[in-house]
Amino acid sequence: MSEQAIDKLSSVFREVPNVQFKQTHARRTEVKLRADTLPAILALLKGRSYIHLSAISCIDRPEFDEFELVYHIWSHEEKNLISAHIKIPKKPGEFVSVHDIYTPAAYFERDIHEMFGVKFEGAPNLKPFVLTEWQGPPPMLKSFDTEKYVQDTYDWLDYQPQWWKEVQEKGGGYAPEDRRAVIMED
Amino acid sequence: MVDKTIPIHADSNTDVTCRNIDKEERTLWRKVIDRIADHCRARSLFVLHYCTGCGAIELPPAITSRFDSERLGMQPMVSPRQADLLLITGYLSVKTLKRVILSYEQMQSPKYVIGFGSCTINGGMYWNSYATIKRLEAYIPVDLYIAGCMPRPEAVQQSFIKLMEQIDNGEANAWKDYYRNYDRYLAKQQALFGDEWHTHVDVVAEAEHYQLLTEQTTGQHTKLLEKFANQYAMHDFSTVQIPEEEKVE
Amino acid sequence: MEELKLSEILLEMVAMPLVAFIVGLFLVLMMRRVKAKIERRIGPPFFQPLYDIMKLYNKETQVSHGYMHDVAIMLLLGGYIASEIFLPVPHMHGLAVQGDLLTLMYLLMVPMLGMALGVGQCANPNASIGISRALSSMLAYDIPFVIVVAGAAIMYGTTNLVEIVEIQQTTEWGLFSMPILALAGLMSMHAMLGKEPFEIYVAPSEIATGPMVEMNGKYMGALFVMQCFQLYTIGALYTVLFLGGGVAWLTFLPKIFLVIFIPVAITNLYGRYRTDDAIRWLWKYPTGIALIGLAVVMFK
């Protein structure tokens, strides 16, 4: 079935320039495109039975100064999920909304706008709905230091119990810096 | 600092730094009434059926057939006006905290708050999240905390029993702390929600009514509320849209 | 006609509602314990209804929604307290001889009116929806109830409740002489108590307990007291009409408890009808059965 899917898709993709696609797993296809060709691909695929938009994800790539948007669309007939990756530069941080092709895209775009700051032209409503009291920078950016924000905004209970002191006296306590889990910087 | 002196209506034996009125000074009749009232309050708590966060899942087992809470006299009630006990079961995002404060102020005194789980105590699992609060007692006064993540229904019921003992001894007076130190609570709330934040409830007037007004009730933060006062001025009751609070003794 | 002595009347005006309240507390306890036993758990302790009422009256805040709200709560309770005077119980007849069955029925409609007036003052849409549903279901259950009462009055030939009790004591009970009407009466009584499947006007999760949503403190305490009175009054009325009343408390009370036990036991097995479903059902089955019973009575 995956060969048939790829064959069908290759006929679709040949209509659009600059596309690379690869079948990574049994029901997963990864497609990399240019940003301005995405709405055309989505419209074509929707006509070819990929009628369900599962999600739109956004990845912050600070080292390249761009956002990577991934559109996941599923076909019930072929049982195949296509993940279309595009990259948009951070400086304008804008992209066109695919709300007219897939209606659920409106909420995903609203969420990405709230969390990353990406503006979608043509989206019906970009008001925040999760962080309605939020006044800071978009929190999902890698440049946002959440721990520093927490230390600045909230205060803590001062808790120095006896049992913790005893544990530290015996040599226990927090793990040393080099043994703590390192968060992936990628 | 406040410019005007606020006349303190509290009784002369009220010590503003501690949470309990000195029990010995009440008349005998007052003591008997209070004892009977506390006995009845402890044995008939109405729980607000609204639980935040992860711990909401621990409430249905505690109320229903297996770990029956009705034998302790507790039953769930659906509206904050009808409830005595507010359970904060788990983390509170900033968005939910606003609604919880509104619900808390609509509840009628005497009211009790129990904080479940480590998220209400000191941040818990979400200690480094930008969207949840770390200490519940900075925003509303709390009677009792239960440790756990989440505490099991047996622990929940033990906390109910402990709260009932506290009410019986006359120690569950955290609701008075809200009136005595309203400026501090409002300061913390406005730090999160912005300087324009206010509720419909006139807490300072209620504090005056209960004779719990102290120097810490009003301050620079409550002064900001005065500019909203004329929005909630007394209306004709035939046209009232927002229910006004009138104290009927 | 019995002679009225003022002192006796005054004493009974205090004693009859008091007895009704105390018996009502036990009926509420029975209701909660039966529900608990069906759900396989222990129910509340013995004094629980009393603790609830006393706690509610000891609330330090009372939120009032205006003058009409306060007065309406008194109307609510007053309707039931007044109707106790007209309900003859063993050794105390009150004004049951002078006022009769029709006065009692009239008075039983006053509490709902009071609730409607008071609840309309609260600016809460849940309360308004609840009370509109309550009045619709009142329209529904009153039709079979009135037919049943009229049939009973025709059967006994009098609307004087004391004479009805005497007739049943000498001949057979109303249950045996007009069984069809008794069945219809049981059904409409179930609806009058507001138990499932006719619980639409309370509807705890759906409209946040409907009329009670803005009430607490003394107001809710009054509603709890009203519940005690309501269970007692309706149970006692049914007992007097169909189960022979009682000449002694020892025979009267078990009958009331039995009569209330039946709706309370079957209420836990049902969900909740919508308002239009409830009206449709109540105008079909209890009304139909009551009309058949009425026909049987009239042609006897």
- Domain ranges for chain C, please list them: 6-298
Please report all neighbours of A, defined by 3+ CB atom pairs within 8 A. B
Least trusted range by pLDDT, from A79-93, C3-17, C40-54: C3-17
Domain A2-159 sits in which CATH superfamily? NADH:ubiquinone oxidoreductase Nqo5 subunit (3.30.460.80)
User: In the predicted model, what is the mean pLDDT of residues B124-129?
Assistant: 88
The three-class DSSP label of residue A75 is: strand
> In DSSP terms, which residues pair with A66 in a beta bridge?
A61, A89
User: In the predicted model, what is the mean pLDDT of residues C276-295?
Assistant: 91
Of A130, A133, A154, the CB nearest to B193: A133
The three-class DSSP label of residue B113 is: strand
The three-class DSSP label of residue B105 is: helix
pLDDT digits (tens, 9 = 90+) for B149-168: 889 999 999 999 999 999 99
User: In the predicted model, what is the mean pLDDT of residues B185-214?
Assistant: 83
pLDDT of residue C283: 92
Domains, chain B, with CATH or none: 22-172 (3.40.50.12280), 173-249 (no CATH)
The H or E element containing residue A55 is strand A52-61
Question: C249-267 and C179-192 are packed helices; what angle lies between their axes, rounded to 10 degrees?
Answer: 70
CA distances from B152 to B116, B126, B178 (A): 10, 20, 29
| Yes or no, beta carbons of C58 and B40 under 8 Å apart | yes
pLDDT of residue C232: 93
Look over chain C and give the mean of its residue pLDDT values, rounded to a whole number.
87
Closest residue in chain C to residue B210, using alpha carbons only: C60
Domain map (residue ranges) of chain A? 2-159
DSSP string, C261-297: HHHHHHHTT-----HHHHHHHHHHHHHHHHHHHHHHH
The H or E element containing residue A26 is none
Measure the CA–CA gap between A126 and A123, rounded to whole angstroms: 7
Measure the CA–CA gap between A106 and A127, rounded to whole angstroms: 11
Of B128, B138, B191, the CB nearest to A150: B128
| Yes or no, beta carbons of C48 and B36 under 8 Å apart | no
DSSP state for residue B61 in the 8-state scheme: H
The ipTM assigned to this model is 0.83
Q: Which chain B residues contact residue C64 at CB under 8 A?
A: 246, 248
pLDDT digits (tens, 9 = 90+) for C66-97: 888 888 888 888 898 888 888 888 888 878 87
pLDDT of residue B11: 46
Tell me the whole-structure pTM to 2 decimals.
Answer: 0.82
If we measure between CA atoms, which residue out of C217, A10, C17, A162 comes closest to residue B107?
A: C217
The three-class DSSP label of residue C165 is: helix
Amino acid letter, residue C36: A
Tell me the two tokens of residue B190.
């406005």
- Residues in A 123-142 with any Cβ partner in B closer than 8 A: 130-136, 139
| Yes or no, beta carbons of B194 and A133 under 8 Å apart | yes
If we measure between CA atoms, which residue out of C176, C170, C183, C177 comes closest to residue C297?
A: C177
B–C interface: beta-carbon pairs under 8 A? 112
B237: number of Cβ within 10 Å: 17
Alpha-carbon torsion, ordered C106, C110, C113, C119, to 10 deg: -160
Contacts of C2 (CB under 8 A, 6+ apart): C93, C97
Amino acid letter, residue C173: W
pLDDT digits (tens, 9 = 90+) for B80-114: 888 889 999 989 988 899 999 999 998 888 899 99
Of A132, A150, A155, the CB nearest to B130: A150
CA distances from C249 to C19, C65, C80, C90, C236 (A): 11, 42, 21, 6, 12
